[in-house]
Amino acid sequence: MLNDEKTVLSHECEGCPIRHRAVCARCESDELERLEEIKYYRSFEAGQTIIWSGDRMEFVGSVVSGIATLTQTMEDGRTQMVGLLLPSDFVGRPGRDGSPYDVVATTDLVMCCFRKRPFEDMMSTTPHIAHRLLEMTLDELDAAREWMLVLGRKTAREKIASLLSIIARRDASLNLRPTQGALVFDLPLTREAMADYLGLTLETVSRQISALKRDGVIELEGKRHVTVPDFSRLLDEAGDDNDGGMLA
Amino acid sequence: MLNDEKTVLSHECEGCPIRHRAVCARCESDELERLEEIKYYRSFEAGQTIIWSGDRMEFVGSVVSGIATLTQTMEDGRTQMVGLLLPSDFVGRPGRDGSPYDVVATTDLVMCCFRKRPFEDMMSTTPHIAHRLLEMTLDELDAAREWMLVLGRKTAREKIASLLSIIARRDASLNLRPTQGALVFDLPLTREAMADYLGLTLETVSRQISALKRDGVIELEGKRHVTVPDFSRLLDEAGDDNDGGMLA
DNA sequence: CGCAGAATTGATACATCTCAAGCTGGGTGG
DNA sequence: CCACCCAGCTTGAGATGTATCAATTCTGCG
C-alpha cells in the first residue's frame, strides 16, 4: 500500500488549530512534549483512502484540516457512511488492530498521527488523554444514535435538511460564527456521498435539494455553495425539536 | 416521578453473574470493596420506564438481568430504538446530567446502580474502571455503526434476519452455547419494539417473519420462541459477510 | 367465557428506487 | 480559442417495496 502522501515535518502543538478540541485538549505542557515525540503529520489528497477496512492500522490520530468519511460496504456494493470526520475528530481505535471501516479523505486533508503502540502506552499513564478520549467517544456515540433516528424514521426531505443543519452547525462552531440568521457554507460532500450518508440514492438527494431550493429553505450558488436564509426554518424541515438550540 | 420499584439489599460482587463483563470487570478486590459502598440494586417491572428522556439521572449502573431499550421519539410520535441493553451493559453517561433517551425495561429487570457523583469520583481515581468504560463505549460505537448500515441500506427481510442473528448471538454468548448448527432462543421484544429498532412498521415486521418461517429460515413456537435450524443460512439472509464468524 | 393486547393477513396508496436521457462546468488538447 | 470530454448533477417516467388503513385471528388471563 504505497501512497503518495507527503510526510510533513513536525510543528509545535502550541498554536495548533485543534489544540483545544482534539484528544490532546486536556494535556499539560509536559504531556504535550511527550506527545510531540511520537507524533508526525501526514497529508492526503481528496479522494485518497486513508485506511482500508480490515487493514492493520499502524497509527491513530486527529484530523487537523479537511474532511474524511467512515464507510461500510456490503458485498454487493451497497455502502453506508457511518461517520463524518471533521477537524479535531479522532481516527482509529486504541486496543484494536484493524479498522472495521474504510476511512476516506473527501477533501485534501492533514492528519496529526501518533504511532499506535506508544500512544497506547501513553494512554495508560496519562489520564488526561484517556479521559478526553472517553468523552469524545461518548459524544460520537450520541451522534451515531442521533443519526439512527434520521436513517430509521425520517423522510428524504427531512434527511437532507438534517444533514445540512449538521454541516452548518459544525461549520459555524469550527469558525466561531453565530448559528443564527443567515448561514453560508460549502458542502464538503458530493451528492453520492450525501446519499451514502443518508441511506438514499443520489437521484433522490438531488431531487430533494432542488425541492428545498424551490421552497426557499436554501439557496444554491453552483452545486456546492449553500446559503441558509433562516436556520430555524431548516431545523423545522429536519423535524428536530427546535427549541432555539444554538451550537454546542 | 414515584416508581413502584423495589429496592433490594446489597449482594456481594463475587459471584455476580456479570462480574467479568460489566464496567467493573477489571477491578481488583479492593476496588470492588469501594464500589460495594456506593452500589445498590433496583428492580423494574416489564414495561416500566427506568429513565425518561431529558430527566436528570441520579445514578449510573449495569443491567444485571433482563432487557432494556434506549429509544428516541420525535414530536409527532415516530420512535426509533437506538440501543438494546442486555445483561452487563452500562446505563448512563458519566459527566452528563440528563439522558437524551428514554430507557425502558422490556422484561422484568434488575440493575446494579451506583450513585452518580461518587462513581464519577471513583472513575478519576480508578483507571481500571475508566479504561473498561472506554472499551465498552468503543464497542457500543461499533455496534451503533453496524446498525446504521442495517437501517440505511438493508431490505426489510435483511433487517429482520439481522436482528434475529444479533439476538441469537448475544443470547448464545451470554449462555455460553456454541453459535453453530441449530439455535433456540426467545424474542425479548414485541413486534412493535422490533419495528422501532428496525425502522419499519409492525405490519412489515410481521409479514417478513412469516416469510422467513415459510421459507424455513426460522421456526416459531408461539409468537416468541424461535428455532434457527441453520445459523449460517440466517446470516446469509441478513446480507452479512458470512466468513464463518463465531461469537465475539 | 369473553375480553384485551398482540399478531396476522389483505387491499391499496405512496415514497423512494431504478433506469434512462440530458444538462453543466471546468479542464485539456488540438 | 474553441471543441470536446467527462464527472457530477438534474430531471423524467415507470417499477417496486414498504406504509397505511382495515378486518380478522390468536393467546393468555381475569
B145 to A101: CB separation less than 8 angstroms, yes or no: yes
Strands A109-115 and A59-65 turn out to be antiparallel
Nucleotides of C under 7 A from a protein CB: 6-11, 15-20, 25-26
Q: Which residue is nearest to nucleotide C25 (CA to C1')?
A: A222
List CB-based contacts (under 7 A) with strand D. A 190-192, 202-203, 205-207, 209-210, 220, 223-224; B 155-157, 199-201, 203-204, 222-223
DSSP-derived letter for residue B56 is B
Q: What is the pLDDT of residue B104?
A: 96
- Which helix (H) or strand (E) segment holds residue B163: the answer is helix B156-174
pLDDT reported for residue A68: 96
Q: pLDDT at position A6, please? A: 46
Contact status, residue B47 vs residue B105, Cβ threshold 8 Å: yes
Nucleotide nearest to B221 (CA to C1'): D27
A145:B78 CB<8 A: no
Class of CATH domain A154-238: mainly alpha
Closest residue to D10 (CA, C1′): A206
Q: Which residues pair with B226 in a beta bridge?
A: B185, B220
A95 phi-psi bin (left φ>0, alpha ψ -120 to 50, beta other): left
Please report the pLDDT score of residue B176 as a whole number: 67
Q: How far is residue A44 CA from its own chain's centroid? A: 15
Spell out a b/e string for B62-80, using b for 16 or more CB atoms within 10 Å of the CB, else e: bbbbbbbbbbbeeeeebbb
From first CA to last CA, the distance across chain A in angstroms is 39
CB distance A112 to A61 below 8 Å: yes
Query: Maximum distance among all alpha carbons in chain B?
Result: 56
Nearest to B87, CA basis, from B117, B108, B58: B108
Cell of A194: 450525501
Q: Note the pLDDT of residue A175.
A: 72
pLDDT per residue as tens digits for the range B37-61:
999 999 999 999 999 999 999 999 9
Closest CA to B71 of B82, B61, B63, B60: B82
Q: What are phi and psi of A233, to 5 degrees?
A: -60, -45
Confidence of residue B245 (pLDDT cuts 50, 70, 90): very low
Beta-strand runs (E) in B28-170: 39-44, 49-51, 59-65, 68-73, 79-85, 90-91, 102-105, 109-115
Residues 6+ away with beta carbon under 8 Å from A215: none
Looking at domain A6-144, what is its CATH homologous superfamily?
Jelly Rolls (2.60.120.10)
**What's the rounded Cα separation, in Å, for the pair A60 and A229?**
39
Give Cα A22 distance to the centre of its chain: 12
Longest C-alpha distance within chain A, in Å? 56
With contacts defined as CB-CB under 8 Å, which chain B residues touch A96? 138
Distance CA B240, CA B162 (A): 8
Q: Where are the domains of chain A?
A: 6-144, 154-238
> Does residue B191 have a pLDDT over 70?
yes
Profile chain A (248 residues) by mean pLDDT over runs of 10 residues.
46 88 94 93 93 93 96 96 96 92 94 95 91 96 97 98 94 71 90 98 98 97 93 95 54
